[in-house]
Structure 1
């Protein structure tokens, strides 16, 4: 990572987001700073309002508007039923000016539909939650059954626990393999050798 430069990571959420697909990346990505001691690292949850409410009914504050994602080093789109409205909302989609040549762009589960609507997956391989496979195919996407699919600077993850793979990809690309190891060791189930070595 370029010395002195703060890496900015954006997690895009909305009303009716899937809780774990925001909170797991949020937690893991913040461990880069909290455990890995990388101070030039900033993670924000972005939306279209000061707060958004999850599918489970939890209301959380956002740290800024979705336009901030356009200047982030890495962007993750969360999943949830709220996506169904957003993929048809041209005003919402036009707020994004993402650049896959200079940004890492990823999605969790049905969040791939937003990547499709933004034409970021046209002709590419991707994965998504099983219930929206046919929808994603409508965006000219080659949908494969895999927990994680990477094509250049764009990656899709499917299955909530695949957030580990998506976060690992971002951390590896922006910092390196050693930091990935550091943060994942702190979330391993007890009994896998971390605590008592």
Structure 2
């Protein structure tokens, strides 16, 4: 299975790295060899809002054949969700793929029409922009609509990642992955 995390300049570090880490734990704790997670962008590397330069594993067009596609967030979204040439590079199918976003990344899903007429969540500063796409913005950390999910607040990356793992593999694997990151002495908080 192929999972793509979409990245760009001025991305929010935790919104990319938390899902990256959790989703890669499927191979580590589950030994699932055909599980591949890639960070994709429009350049060979992108710079985070905190100034970290990270290499990409490929170009965003690879997401079109992925089983799950997750969009990061950050200041860089503001330019991209209004850029038809950027958006046209995605040929995603809600019938065949899981499609999700972190925080302001929901603006990209809104601009592509995936959230019209649905409930979704985003970072509070992007709520009015998201509503302009005909979206009912709700004050929740995670909202699921079948094969589409939105998460808001960096730590909600756990919920978004859990959704991908649970949907593609199952609850047992989700629990195994989450057990590896829970604070010592705390019980699991499974979504």
TM-score relative to the length of structure 1? 0.94
CA-atom RMSD in angstroms: 1.0
SS at match of 1:16: coil
Aligned residue runs from structure 1 range 31-180, under 5 A? 31-180=25-174
Q: Who is 1:189 aligned against? A: 183
Detail structure 1 runs of 4+ shifted over 6 Å in the superposition.
Answer: none
Shift of 1:193: 6.8
Per-residue displacement from partner, 1:120-154 (whole Å, max 9, x unpaired)? 11111100000110000001101011000000100
Aligned equivalents of 1:173, 1:19: Cα separation in 2? 25
Per-residue displacement from partner, 1:44-76 (whole Å, max 9, x unpaired)? 000000000000000000000000000000000
TM-score relative to the length of structure 2? 0.97
Q: Any stretches of 5+ residues in structure 1 without a counterpart?
A: 1-6
Q: Who is 1:11 aligned against? A: 5
